[in-house]
Amino acid sequence: MKKILTFFALALLCLNLNAASVQGNWTADFGDSPEMKALTPEMADMGLANFLSLTPKKYKEMTGKRMTLKQTIQLKAAQKIVKKQLKGDPDIPKGLYIVGAILGFSWILMGVMDDFEGKNWWVNLLLMALCWLPGVIHAFARMGDYYGGGKN
């Protein structure tokens, strides 16, 4: 049991460290991927909305230079990375949430998803302590809050 708990704690820590927020200098918040490093200064200086709507034709109108095929692919890959992170993907994959809920670790998962703020995680902890089944039901009832379809 101790090994399983340690494994889940480490997995949650790794997932939580990979979560990125979008604020301030937007290019610095999207990691050190080769696609993000390949952005030209013009692309990095424009606003986020303008970058997401940038096409090779608009880039040529803006700079007077034509993008190579490699630059076009890097631009599209960088736009895809930014859109994915802006979409607000949850910190924890849905499958891991379901398995964790069944194994009784849903209160930890809820805490990580809420940054241990709010009441969901401690209510779930109490329900898990009383009896396993109410905690699992509560975890599945609140799953919509984290994976869409529910009200926050």
Please list, in sequence order, all residues whose beta carbon lies within 8 angstroms of the beta carbon of residue 17, skipping any fewer than 6 positions away. none
Please list, in sequence order, all residues whose beta carbon lies within 8 angstroms of the beta carbon of residue 90, skipping any fewer than 6 positions away. 97, 113, 146, 147
Domain housing 143 = 2-19+91-147
For residue 114, is it within any domain?
yes
pTM of the predicted model over 0.75? no
Say whether pLDDT at 141 is over 60: yes
- Same domain, yes or no, for 65 and 98? no
Say whether pLDDT at 6 is over 70: no
User: What are the tens digits of pLDDT across the range 7-52?
Assistant: 655 555 554 444 433 333 555 555 566 666 667 677 767 777 888 8
User: What are the tens digits of pLDDT across the range 62-89?
Assistant: 888 898 888 888 888 888 777 766 666 6
For residue 122, is it within any domain?
yes
Average pLDDT, the chain: 76
Contact 124, 106 (CB under 8 A): yes
For residue 121, is it within any domain?
yes
For residue 152, is it within any domain?
no
- Same domain, yes or no, for 55 and 69? yes
Query: In 3D, which of 40, 20, 38 has the Cα closest to residue 82?
Result: 20
- Same domain, yes or no, for 75 and 38? yes
